[in-house]
Each structure stands twice: as structure tokens, then as C-alpha cells.
Structure 1
């Protein structure tokens, strides 16, 4: 989902802030510049849940480029970055929960992740069905969680700009040793801000999270701005109303994960009239039991099913 004019103004301010912010907070050799727009802006208050959303042809996803790199992430690798010394306080248990969720998103028990397998890169622009053509997203045979880093070298900003979030993604690439483009063709850096902070204006900007890419000394990097959603209370960023505090951040991060996998360097990947793979399905959440627990996974648009689904 592209940002509104108001958010475009805010982003321009963030880009200007990078010039003032400089590269002093970056790891040695890392230089980052945010891309022109953010994507996958999940709303803070999704519409009421619909068990079987109606099919809408306008939501059919089409690939935006015939490129064979940067369109999708064929072998997803997730790097969770718990940003700032404030993670000594984690009242909702977000750090453990996010790690457990990704530790379980693989194999036969993860039928949600198999929705992504139908999408590919290396096919003609405008393709809606890959079939056996192209380079497909591969359903992970083992956990896609490639690493977790508690970056406690300093406090995360109380009001981080988009530029500072992009800079932290470059810091993470350096930390994990992903210092060339090749490993970063599948790596996504999830920048999780600590409780009490407001990255890119959260929650007053009205979004739950967003994903994007940034240029760096290590190539293009895919990353996510994931705020501490439990600060907004139970029911934020999920359609469930059972009072479970972690549902919103689980739903949100699965939304952003799937959109990063299928639109790796936005927006040359898979998009439709309703946006990216998760944008058309924010009204659909489901509790899915994995080997590591039960989590709130957001529904995704399936071209093959012609509707929002929670399993492949």
C-alpha cells in the first residue's frame, strides 16, 4: 500500500533528517538511504472479521517486473533486531513470542506459509499465474529465523525517523555478516522497537507497521518497521477481541513478512488493486497452531483460490 500525501510529507521530512543524522550511528562501512515510499501499511484498527471474504478480481496479484532478483524472496531468511537498551523491559513478552513464531513457520505443520509458494520471479511482467515457470518462493523446510540480535549498544530513539530505522537495518546487516548483495537477496531485517517508543510516529500515524527497502554499502536491504504494538492494548492491529495482548503484533508481523517475501524490493513484486498480498486481507485473522505454539496469523490473498485464505 502506498502512503497517503500526509505520510509522503512525513517521509520527506525523514529523508531530510538522514542528512542531519548522518552515518555516525551506522556500523563501519554502512550507509543507508530510505526508498521513496513505504509499503504494507497495515491499519491500526482493521475492519470486523469476515470468516470467508468475498473474492474480488481487483485483488488479483500481478508481478510488477520480469527481473529475477528482488521481486520475491525465494528462500526467506528473517533477522529479528530488538533495537535499543530499553529491551531490558519487555512487559508483553514480545521478544520471546516473535522468536517462537518464526521458529515454527516451516514444514508440514505450517500450512499458512504454503500460500506464498505460488508466487515467483523471473517471469513476464503482468503474470498472474506462475505455474512451473520462474523462480518460486520455497516453503521453508526449517525455521526461517536466521538470527536474533538485541542491539543494546545505546537506547533506541523515542521517536525514530524512517531514516534511523533504515540505518538500523544496515547496522543489522553488518552485525550478521551480510555484507554483500548475495545474502541480502533473501534477508529481511525486522526492526522491533521497544516499549514506550514511537517509530515513525506510531501509533498516531495510524499504522501498525510497514516494510520497505534501503540502499546500503551491502546492497539493497529489505526491512520492516515493527513498533511495540502491545503498547496500544489488546485488539490493536487484529480482528480478535479476546483480550490476548500479543495477537496484534503476531498478525502484523505475518502481514509484513508475507509482503516482504512476495514484494521484496517494493514495488516490483506482486501487487493488485487491493495492494500487496496482505493488504486486501486485513479483515481476516486466524489462530494457527505451529510446533512452537499458537499464533495469530493474518490472512493472505491467494491468486489460486481467488480470495483471502489462512492456509495453502
Structure 2
């Protein structure tokens, strides 16, 4: 009787361990927002000096072999990047600065740039990340914008602009919609994030960016490109989020490391040169992106942990 009871206990423990192991990869993609039905907030670009909070929903693979490099987890990637920008908020109606035109030229130059090519080594179930794509000029929505703490709210804004005809529905799996709100981040510890959701039954990628004017925690301290501080700040975090969306766009996830960090996370707030030139000749102060190949070969520049795996395509 005792031996039978012991066998049952051992079997139950083995099943529990197997379930925990098999769920490890999926749990890293759980929603980090309060409501579990919201799309997951991924690739959070934490502000300088902020330590990401511990969370049971964090993208951590507890049973993974520890390595500096990212590993593949079976999901899709973005073979190309078709970018669409929305400037959302009441203050954009009378705006006369350089952020709107600057972001248009940013995404136009990102396509086929050496910077974009720093992420092209990654493959997924649907092919390989490529530097090609299309960029589209921004649209403006002067309704009151929302803060970035709820992904469903931001997805609804994107779907609204698609439904009303301001933007096309790019349901190829390569559509990336960047929402630039006029909200300050306030007490939020992050500058931006990306996520994946559905509009009219088609998967899209989308991202959210706070108004970073005068925000020291999200400022790359660009002194050479001539861009306003606000444009320089959102441009830097835009590179972070788009690069992550290309290499790790949707559940069950593609490329991230054992702590859940994507390629932008691993090189956040590290700059190798004063500015990087894009394919259209525009220049930007922008962080590098993690390259497994560069780290393995020892040819990258060091991230904040001293790991030489960052590339910026300069």
C-alpha cells in the first residue's frame, strides 16, 4: 500500500514537472497587463535606470540553458516591414515641429538600411527577416489619446484608423502600425512597447510611444543630427521596437534569450557611434541591435553588461 501511494505521488510530481517545462515557452508570452484578455505588451523599452519589475507573467524561460545569445522558440518572424504611423492626440492638430515629417523620413530610410540588416540573420517558421518593405506617410487622429498601459486600447485605435479608411489593413503578417501619442509617460517606467493583435481577422503588429519631449529617462542625448530632442527620442525607441517586432512579432514567439529579452532589449541605451546613416541619407542617433552571429564571432560592440553582440550598421 505504501509503495503504491509513493508511486502515485511520484507520477503526479513527474506530470507536474512536465507540464511546467512544456508551458515555459508559452508563459513568457503571457500578457503583462492587468487584464489577461489584452494582447501581450512585449519588448518594453524601459527608461534609463529602471529595473524591470519581477512578474509571474514575465518572459522568462526557467528551464533554458543560460547563454548570452537569443534562441529560437518556434514562431513566425516578419520577412519584410510595411510601416504605418499614427499621431494620436488633440495637440497634434496644430503641431508645427519636426516629429511628423521626421518619422516619415525615418521609416522610409529604415527600409533597406544597414541598420535594418543587423536583424536579418533571424529565421522563423515563415522564412527569414529581410531589410525590405514599404513605408507610408503618417496619419493624424486628433481625438483624445490614451496612455500606454493597456494594449487593447491601442489596438482599437489602430483598427479604428483602418476601419475609417485612413490606413489600409496590411494583414500579410508584415504590417507594423506605430502609434505616437501626445501623452507623457509620467510614472510609467517605460518609453515604448510593441505587441501583436487582430483587425478584421488579420494579424497585425503594432507599437506605442509616449510623448518623450523633455523626458531625461528616454533621451538618447543626440547632439549631432540636428533633430529636435523629442524627435531624437522617439526615433531611437522606434528602432528598438521595430527591430524586435521583426524578429519576435507574435505568439508563441521567435527570438529572445533565457530572460525573455529581445534583440532591442539586449542593446538598450548603448550607442556605438554618434549617428547612423539610413538608406535615404538621413542620420539618427540610435541604439544597436543584438546579433547572435556578432556575439559568437566577437565582432559586436558591448551592451550594458559588457557582452559584445550589438550592431548598428554604421
Give the TM-score, by structure 2 length: 0.70
| Equivalence for 2:276 | 288
Secondary structure in structure 2 of the residue aligned to 1:34: coil
How far has the Cα of 1:171 moved from its partner?
Answer: 1.9
Counterparts of 2:222 and 2:115, CA distance in 1:
22
State the structure with bigger RCO (CA 8 A, min sep 6), 1 or 2.
1
How far has the Cα of 1:42 moved from its partner?
Answer: 1.0
The answer as to whether partners of 2:154 and 2:208 remain within 8 angstroms in 1 is: yes
How far has the Cα of 1:237 moved from its partner?
Answer: 2.1
**Residue 168 of structure 2 corresponds to residue 165 of structure 1:** no
Counterparts of 2:120 and 2:94, CA distance in 1:
37
| Equivalence for 1:131 | none
The answer as to whether partners of 1:173 and 1:218 remain within 8 angstroms in 2 is: no
| Equivalence for 1:218 | 201
Counterparts of 1:79 and 1:172, CA distance in 2:
11
The answer as to whether partners of 1:211 and 1:260 remain within 8 angstroms in 2 is: yes
| Equivalence for 1:273 | 258
The answer as to whether partners of 1:78 and 1:146 remain within 8 angstroms in 2 is: yes
How far has the Cα of 1:189 moved from its partner?
Answer: 0.7
Match runs of 1:112-261 below 5 Å:
112-122=115-125, 135-140=127-132, 144-152=134-142, 154-157=143-146, 161-174=150-163, 175=165, 176-178=167-169, 181=171, 183=172, 185-194=173-182, 197-198=183-184, 202-232=185-215, 235-240=216-221, 242=223, 245=229, 246-261=231-246
Q: Point out where structure 2 has 5 or more consecutive residues left out of the alignment.
A: 1-25, 51-65, 296-308
Quickly say closer, same or farther: Cα 1:113–1:188, change in 2 above 3 A: same
Counterparts of 2:250 and 2:136, CA distance in 1:
19
The answer as to whether partners of 1:236 and 1:248 remain within 8 angstroms in 2 is: no
Quickly say closer, same or farther: Cα 1:278–1:111, change in 2 above 3 A: same
Secondary structure in structure 2 of the residue aligned to 1:144: strand
Quickly say closer, same or farther: Cα 1:262–1:159, change in 2 above 3 A: closer
How far has the Cα of 1:46 moved from its partner?
Answer: 5.5
Quickly say closer, same or farther: Cα 1:59–1:89, change in 2 above 3 A: farther
| Equivalence for 1:129 | none
Higher gyration radius (CA): 2
The answer as to whether partners of 1:75 and 1:186 remain within 8 angstroms in 2 is: yes
Give the TM-score, by structure 1 length: 0.70
Quickly say closer, same or farther: Cα 1:102–1:177, change in 2 above 3 A: closer
Quickly say closer, same or farther: Cα 1:252–1:72, change in 2 above 3 A: same
The answer as to whether partners of 1:3 and 1:41 remain within 8 angstroms in 2 is: no
| Equivalence for 1:79 | 84
The answer as to whether partners of 1:251 and 1:296 remain within 8 angstroms in 2 is: yes
Secondary structure in structure 2 of the residue aligned to 1:298: coil
Q: What do you get for the CA RMSD once the two structures are aligned?
A: 3.0
Deviation digits for residues 123-143 of structure 1, max 9, x if unmatched? xxxxxxxxxxx7111222xx6
Quickly say closer, same or farther: Cα 1:193–1:99, change in 2 above 3 A: same
